[in-house]
Every structure is written in structure tokens, then in C-alpha cells.
Amino acid sequence: MLAVALAFIATALHIVLCFAAAPLVTGITNKLRAWLLGRRGPPWLQPYRHLAKLLCKSSFVPDTATDLFTVWPLGAFLALAVATMLIPGFANGMLTADAGDYITIVGLFALARAAIMLGGLETGFGFGGAGAAREALFGVFAEAALLVLLLAFALLAQSTNVDGIAEAFRTTHIGISVSLGFALAAMLTVALTETGRIPTDNPSGHLELSMVHEAMALEYSGRLLALLDYAGMLRLIAWMNLIGTIFLPFGMARASEISSWPGGLALWAGKLLAMAAALSAFEVSRAKMRVFRVPEFLGAALLLGMLASVFLFVAARIGA
């Protein structure tokens, strides 16, 4: 009974913290990137102000859009919110752990992607359509790579649940594995594409011919844009949580032991900060790719994902 109550509190804490910290993570990433470029950058808290400003502004609906125009940002937000709730952050064994199967989470990301693509097609103007078409292409490789990775995780952890994978990687000794290295490279590639970061898309670009994510949000304004932007922030923190939980599970708290929470929370914050720093350093050191180079980039991720499991098969065969 006590354990369930504690798990409930841990889950609620996780959800509240993720929802509250999502803009902060984006703000920190932007600030760090500006620092690395030698600029002063926007304040840490700028994303909160941005959201508050958008919430107060009035929203416009293009006269060429249908009644579903307002539905798509909400759909994207809800799918990503549920994904954020399901992916463990600072603790293992939360109440939502059982529902958090890896495939369900990939499905929720796909649902958010579909909603944003439909929002881009909604107004019927060139930019939105071009962005949606490119997103459809990227999605093909990204989703396939993500799903192939699951095989390597399932073979190593005997579980397809994100919480179960983290638990297995934390408690059993796996060591430095070539397969996990490949899997990490593939997952980072997909994460960069899905969150619209620099080698595939420019998060700070606003009116370029090659923009993808921004192109689909171009006609949104006011609170609908706030919802879309917030969904993007949630996606960033959800991906950081996913990568952190699978590849850096050390020091995660147990939801049923309250004494382990402070350590888990502190480490979680540290991991998010480290990932934000790594992301901004990577973004600064890379140039944006041409749109039709991205399938090659993601195709490499797909191959790495397959190689990760093939190496495991070979290792099992030769008894290594």
C-alpha cells in the first residue's frame, strides 16, 4: 500500500517536473549554444516568457483552413504529453511503467508527427506542404531505425518495456558493448532528426526554403502556436529522458524508496544538463545538411541499428 502511494507520488512528481522543466531545458540549450558561438544569448527563462506571451495573444485561423485547424496542435501536444508521462525520468518503477512499452512510445511519437504534418497541410500553402512532405520522408527512416534498435535492447535486457530495459541495464553488468555503442549512435541520429536539431533541420531558422518543422507551424499563432512550441519542448525532454534512461541508467532512484529520490533527482538534473551541453556543442560544430542527404544520414542509423543486433547474434554464436 505504502509502496503504491509512493509510486503514485513519484509518478506525479515526474510528470510535474517534466512539464515544468521542458521550457527550461530548451532555454538552457539555446543559451549554451549562444555561448559557444561567442554570443550572450537569450536568458535561461526566455521560453517561459515566450509561451506566456503567445498564450495572451489572440489566435488567427486562416480563411483557407478547415475546422480541424485547432485540433492538430492539441493532438500533437497530447501525444507528446503522454509519451513524456510514460518515459521514466529520475526513478524506476513508476505507476506508468507497465504501459510504457517501447513500441507504444514510438507509436506516440508517430502520432505526434502525423498531427503536426496534418497541421502543415491544413492551410494549403506551399511551405506547410513542403515541410510535411519532407517530414514524411524523414519519418520513414527514423521510425524504422528506432524499431530495429528495440531488437538489440530486447536481446540484452529481455524486456521491451523502457522501464524494464533501464532496470536491466542498471542492475545487470553488461559492460561496454559494441552493440550498445552502435545503438547509441543510431538513437542519437534519430533523436536529432525527430527533435529538429541541426544536421537535419535548423531550430532557429524561421523562413528558409529548407526548413521542416518550422514550415509546418508557419500559419499558427497565439495559443495554438504556444501549444505547438510547448509540444516541441516536451519532445526534447522526452527524448533526453529516453536516451538517459536507456543509456545512462546509473543512479536512478526507485519509486518505492523515498530515501533514494533526492539522489535520483539530482543525478537526473545533472544528466539533462550534460545532454543539453552535448547537444549544443554538437549543433555548433555541424552544418545543416541538404534535405536529400538526410535519408542517407538516417539510413546509416538504420544500418547501425541492424548491426547492433547482428553483433549480438554473432556474439551469442561464438559464445563471447
Partner 1 sequence: MFGLPGHGMHLRLDALSMLFGCILLPQTVAAAVAGMRASVPFWVFVLGMALTLAAGDAFTLILGFELMSAASWLLVMQGDARPATLYAGIAIFSGACLIPALFLPASSLAFVLVALGAGAKAGLAPLHSWLPRAHPAPPAGVSALMSGGMVKVALYVLIRYAFVNLASAQQPWWGETLVAAGALSVLIGALRAALEVELKAALACSTVEHVGLIAMGLGLALYAKASGEAELSGLALQAALLCAVAHGLFKPLLFIGAGEVKHATGTTSMNWLGGLMRGMPRLGALMLLGAAGMAALPLGPGFAPEYLLFHAVISAAATGGILARIGFSATLAVLGIGAALALAASVRLVGMGFLGRPRSLHAAAAEDLRRGPFMAMTLLATLAIPVALVPGLILSLLNPVILLLAPQALTPPLSYAPLTLLVLTGLAALAAGFAQTRWGGRGLREAPAWNGGFGRPPAWLPFGDPRTQISATGFAEPVMRSIGRELLGTAPVDPAERFLLIPLIRAQRRGVRLAERMRRATIRERLAFVFAVLVTFLLALGLGRGG
For the bound state, the minimum distance from the C-beta of residue 116 to partner 1, rounded and expressed in Å, comes to 10
Map the footprint of partner 1 across residues 216-235, applying CB under 8 A: 218-219, 222-223, 226-227
Stretch that binds partner 1, among 104-112, 172-180, 188-196, 281-289 (CB under 8 A): 104-112
**Which residues are CB-contacts of 212 (< 8 A; sequence separation ≥ 6)?**
131, 134, 135, 138, 196, 200, 201, 291
Stretch that binds partner 1, among 23-31, 171-179, 274-282, 312-320 (CB under 8 A): 312-320
**Closest CB to partner 1 among 252 and 291?**
291
Interface with partner 1, residue 208, by CB under 8 A: no
Map the footprint of partner 1 across residues 120-139, applying CB under 8 A: 121-130, 132-134, 136-137, 139
**Closest CB to partner 1 among 211 and 253?**
211
Cell digits for 138?
524523414
How big is the site for partner 1, counted in residues (CB under 8 A)?
A: 88
Which member of 14, 113, 197, 288 binds partner 1 (CB under 8 A)? 113
Task: Give the alpha-carbon dihedral of 302, 161, 247, 15, to 10 degrees.
Answer: 120
d(CA 252, CA 41): 32
Query: Helices (DSSP H) in 123-257: which residue ranges?
Result: 126-157, 162-171, 178-194, 213-216, 222-247
Interface with partner 1, residue 7, by CB under 8 A: no
**Closest CB to partner 1 among 28 and 83?**
83
DSSP string, 108-120: HHHHHHHHHHHHH
Map the footprint of partner 1 across residues 41-80, applying CB under 8 A: 52, 55-68, 70, 74, 77-79
The site map against partner 1 for 156-175 (x = CB under 8 A) is ----xx--------------
Interface with partner 1, residue 266, by CB under 8 A: no
**Whole-Å CA distances, 185 to 27, 58, 145, 188, 305:** 25, 42, 11, 5, 9
Interface with partner 1, residue 292, by CB under 8 A: yes
**Closest CB to partner 1 among 72 and 261?**
72
Decide if 190 contacts 105 (C-beta within 8 A): no
How buried is 20 (Cβ within 10 angstroms: 0-12 exposed, 13-18 middle, 19+ buried)? exposed
d(CA 314, CA 292): 34
Interface with partner 1, residue 317, by CB under 8 A: yes
